[in-house]
Homo-oligomer: A and B are copies of this chain.
Amino acid sequence: MAGNSSTPGATVTSRALALLGAFDEHHRRLTLTELADRAGLPMPTAHRLVGELVAWGALARNTSGEYAVGWRLWDIGLLAPVQTGLREVASPYLHDLYGATLATVHLAVRDGTDVLYVDRLAGHASVPVVSSVGSRLPMHATGVGKVLLAHAPLEVQHAVLADLSRITPYTITQPGLLRRQLAKVLRDGYASTTEEMSLGACSLAVPIRRGPDVVAALGMVLPSLKDRARLVGALQVAARGIGRSLG
B12/A75 in contact, CB under 8 A:
no
Contact with B along A3-36 (1 / 0, CB 8 A): 0000000011110110011011100110000000
Contact with B along A38-68 (1 / 0, CB 8 A): 0000000000010011001110100000001
B80/A133 in contact, CB under 8 A:
no
Within 8 A of B (CB), among A83-100: 83
Among the stretches A109-117, A158-166, A196-204, the one at the interface with B is A109-117
B75/A28 in contact, CB under 8 A:
no
A2 at the interface (CB under 8 A from B): no
A73/B68 in contact, CB under 8 A:
no
Q: A239 contacts which chain B residues (CB < 8 A)? A: none
A141 at the interface (CB under 8 A from B): no
Within 8 A of B (CB), among A107-147: 109, 111-112, 116, 133-136
B14/A56 in contact, CB under 8 A:
yes
Q: A20 contacts which chain B residues (CB < 8 A)? A: 76
Q: A12 contacts which chain B residues (CB < 8 A)? A: 11-13, 16
B52/A80 in contact, CB under 8 A:
no
A154 at the interface (CB under 8 A from B): no
Contacts A13-B49, A57-B111 hold; do A73 and B77 have CB atoms under 8 A apart? yes
Q: A82 contacts which chain B residues (CB < 8 A)? A: 28, 134
Central interface residue in A17, A52, A116, by most chain B CB within 10 Å: A17
- Nearest CB of B to A121, in Å: 15
A78 at the interface (CB under 8 A from B): yes
Q: A49 contacts which chain B residues (CB < 8 A)? A: 13
A71 at the interface (CB under 8 A from B): yes
Cβ 8 A contact of A112, one of B23, B57, B112, B136 = B57
Q: A74 contacts which chain B residues (CB < 8 A)? A: 77-78, 80-81, 134
Chain B residue, CB-CB nearest to A83: B28
B133/A83 in contact, CB under 8 A:
no
Contacts A71-B109, A71-B111, A111-B57 hold; do A79 and B24 have CB atoms under 8 A apart? yes
